[in-house]
Structure 1
């Protein structure tokens, strides 16, 4: 009797477990795609390519950054372009991804951005952030919302 109950339970759970495995494979693919998008953004910024940096953002982007007004895609892209133009190729970002959670066509990424100055690599700022990615109709993951705030540490100006 117990054997039969276990067999019935196994048969009932099999479709759900198979679906969970499919979903986790999809989540892994989404995570890899998002990591690649963030790496491409970092490379574009570090080579001074303002136009390529803006490809990461959705057209309906909304952003909140401490010390700056709420921004849309145009404002964020303009801010990046100004920073790159002023820096003369001296600015570079390092991206540290802490966590990616995927749910269907949405994903949340918790990360740290460290802005450095070349050639010495001195840390200028460290921002903690949370990005909400959305897989758009073309299948490409883009940031639709993000929040970032500067934090002080031993490796940034004003840190302990």
Structure 2
């Protein structure tokens, strides 16, 4: 039995590492789904990335919760004069239990005209009771 203990300990570490990698991939997938939803005008799916307990801080806009951020997404997607498209560059995903931190940069392109906004940020995700990872806090700014 003493010989098996190190093997069991290593297998437990491997399984924990595997679960963290799976969670990081699930978060990356949620961000990819959000990007597709936003870029195709799917407001419900775009808003679903955010927790109802969201507290966000975007430089120049101040703090806002879920309702305000979802209303902003809705206004952008309903704008008939302009089209907004996002692309994400995920720098890292750090998972610890039911919390995760994502360091990323969003690039927003606005048509017509091709104006670009580069927006580095930090998102804090939580695994909510339904099993989905959602953003509970984020800070971002435009370069």
Deviation at residue 15 of structure 1 after TM alignment? 3.7
Q: Partners in 2 of 1:116 and 1:150 — Cα distance?
A: 13
1:155 alignment partner in structure 2 = none
- Aligned counterpart, 1:56: 49
Q: List runs of 5+ in structure 1 lacking aligned partners.
A: 1-7, 152-160
Write the mapping of 1:53-132 to structure 2, written as runs, cut at 5 A: 53-86=46-79, 88=81, 90-118=83-111, 122-132=114-124
Distance in 2 between residues matched to 1:119 and 1:139, nearest whole Å: 39
Structure 1 residues 101 and 87: alpha-carbon distance in aligned structure 2, compared to 1, 3 A threshold:
farther
Superposition TM-score, scaled by structure 2 size: 0.90
Residue in 1 that maps onto 2:127: 135
Cα distance between partner residues in 1 of 2:91 and 2:112: 26
Aligned residues: 142
Q: Report the structure number with the largest CA radius of gyration.
A: 1
Q: Give 1 or 2: higher strand fraction.
A: 2
- Equivalent of 1:37 in 30, 55, 59: 30
| TM-score under structure 1 length normalisation | 0.81
